Chains A and B, each alone.
Chain A
Amino acid sequence: MAALTAMERGLVDVSRLSWMTTKLEAALGWARKYSIFQYPFVTACCGMEYMATACSHYDVDRFGAGFPRFSPRQADVLFVVGTVSHKLAPVLKRVYDQMVEPKWVVAFGVCTCTGGFYDNYATVMGIDTIIPVDIYIPGCPPRPENVLDGLMKLQEKMQHGVKATLPQGPSARPAELLASHRPEEHL
C-alpha cells in the first residue's frame, strides 16, 4: 500500500500555495542573475572593451559574471562581441543552438546590433537576423559603463524570466537602433 502524501490526506490545501512557486521563481531568477556564466563570442575590436569591463577596474565579477565559459554547454549568456561575417554566421548559430536553456544573448557593439558602419558583402547586418537577441549594447566600442548598464538590464530580464524566443530581426530592434546609419543622411 503506497503511503499517502500529506497533500493527498487532505492536510495541506494546495490552492493557497501558489505563493510558493512565485517565490521559487523569484529565487531562481535571483540565482541566475547573480551567477552569469557568459560565453564571450569575441571576434573583433569590441573584445578589447569586453576585456576592459571584465578586468579589475570596471570589474564584472561584482555582478557575479566573473567566470566566462568557453563551452556552449556550460554557458548561459552568449555575449556576441564584435563584427560577425557571413562566413562566421553558421558557426554562431551552431554555438547558440548548442547552448542549453535557459539562455540569453547580448549583442555587444554596433556591428552585432545593426551591422555598425559596415554595409558590404561580408558583414551580417545585425545578429538578430540569425539568433534571437535579448540585450542590445550599442557603441563602437561601447564604454564599460555602457556594458555594465546593459548587463544590469540583462539581470532584470533574468529576474523576471523573460527571454527572446524567435529571431526577430530589424523590426524588433529598439527605436534608437532603427535610425539610419548612412553618414550622408546625418549631414
Chain B
Amino acid sequence: MRAFARLLDSLAFTPARNTKLTLVRDYLRETPDPERGWALASLTGVLSFDAAKPAFIRKAVEARVDPELFALSYDFVGDLAETVALIWPTKPGANREPELSDVVDTLRGAGRAEVQKLLEGWLDALDADGRWALLKLLTGGLRVGVSARLAKQALADLGAVEVAEIEEVWHSQRPPYADLFAWLEKRSDKPSPDAPARFRPVMLAQAIDEATDFAKYDAKDYAAEWKWDGIRVQAASERGEKRLYSRTGDDIGHAFPDVMAALNFEGVLDGELLVMTDGRVVSFGDLQQRLNRKNPDPKTIAKFPAGIRAYDLLMDGAEDLRALPFAARRKRLEAFVARLKSSRIDLSPLQPFADWDELARLRASPPEGDAKIAEGLMLKRWDSVYEAGRPKGPWFKWKRDPHLIDAVLMYAQRGHGKRSSFYSDYTFGVWREDAGGTRALTPVGKAYFGFTDEELKQIDKFVRDNTIERFGPVRSVRADKDFGLVFEVAFEGLQKSTRHKSGVAMRFPRINRIRWDKPAREADELKTLERMLGA
C-alpha cells in the first residue's frame, strides 16, 4: 500500500504526461504481483469501490477526534478525505500495514455493515499518505490525472511493446493481470486476445499536408467521405457479447444503452458515434449532453438519441476483414449495414470527386445536409488494409479551416514543469455591451499553446509588466479599450454553455497569431460569436 500511496501522491502533483508515464512504468516494474495488478486495475478504472460515503468517513473520524478540532482543521485543509487522512490519530501497536491486495480481497468478501470497522482498522495501521490513498480508493475515483490510456501506455513502455498490442489483449485479461505482466517481462508468451467482442486496435489518419501531399498522391487512388464531428467508436457484437469501445479501447457502453440495444449483428463495426434525430446529425454540443454521463436518464436519451455512422467493417461474422483492401471492406460494409435496417446504425456515404481541386471546393463549401456540420474530409486509399496505429499514406484527414477571432488577453496563469516560471495559460475575452451601453471584456476561452518559445517569453514579459492583480498563480493583466494584448484565436467550433458567463464555449482553442499591432478596442464582439452559434 505504501508504494501505491506514494505513486498516487506523485501523480497528483505531476502535470506532465511523460513524467506520469515514467512514474507509472517504474512503479509497475518495481512492485511485485499481485500488488501492481490491483494498482493497474484501479488506475484503469477496472476496479472501483464506492464502499465509503463522505458522511460515513466523517462519522468515523468524529469518533476519534474532538469535533471542534476537526472542524478547525477541515476549514483549513478544505478537503474531507485529506483532512481525515492527516488528522487520524496514530495508534501505537496497530496492525500491520495492509497491502493493496489485502484491502481488495477483504472488501470483496465484506458486507456493508463490516466496512466501518475495516476502514478504521486500516486507517489505524497506515501513515498519512496511505490513509489518503485508501480513502480515495474506497470513495471511488482516484482523480490523479491518469487515464486508462496512459496506464496502458506505461504498461507498453514496461514491456517495450506497442500500446496497440496491450489494447488487443486487454479485454481478455482480468486483474491482477499476472499473465499480462509475465508476457511483458518475457517470462511467457503473449496471452491470447481471443475473447468475444474484444477491442481491435484502431487505424488512425494522418493530417494531410496541403503543401506537399497532393502533388505526391493521385486522386484516383483515394475515396473521400465526410469527417463526422462525433466520437470514434468500435461496436463489437460476437457470440452474445456486446461492447462499445472508444478509440482507445475504453468500454463506454454503459453511457449508451440505446446504441447497445441496436447492436443486433455478428461482427465488429468502426464508425462515429453521433446524436442523430431522424437520420440527421446534430451538433457536437448535443452529443456532449450524452458524454461523460455514466448512467443517462431516459429523458436525456430520448432527447439526444445516439447512433453510429459506420465507415468500416473489421469482422463480418467470424471473418476477419482487416487484411482486405478498403474497397473490398467497403462493399462488405454497405451490404452489412443494409441488412441491419437499423434506425441507429447508418452508413457514412462516400463523396465522389474527380480531382483534388474538386475536393478542395467541396471542402470549402460542403453540400446541404449533414456535410455542412462535418469537421472536414477523410481520404482513404482504396487499396489500404486496416492497420493499427497511424501509418503515413493510406488514410488522411483534411479538416476545415478553423474559425478565427481576435480576443484580448485578460488573465495569465503560470505553467508547470518547463513552463513553471512562465505565464503560459491565457484567458482571453471579447467585447460585450451591457444594458447601459458600456463595453466591457467578457472571458470566452483559455488557451496554452499555439505560440513559439520565443513568443512565450515575450508574452510572459508583457504579463509581468502589465499585471494588475495577483491571485495565487494567476495574474490579471491590464486590458481595456486603450490598452491590451490581442490574440488571434483559432478554434474548431462553438457551443452554447451555461457554465461560462459569456454563454459560449470554444472547442480546441489555440493562439493562432499574436497581434502586437492591433489595438484592444478593435478586438471582436461577443455578438460575432453568438452569430456563429446560430449558423
> Do A and B make up one complex?
no
Which chain A residues have a beta carbon within 8 Å of chain B's beta carbons? Answer: none
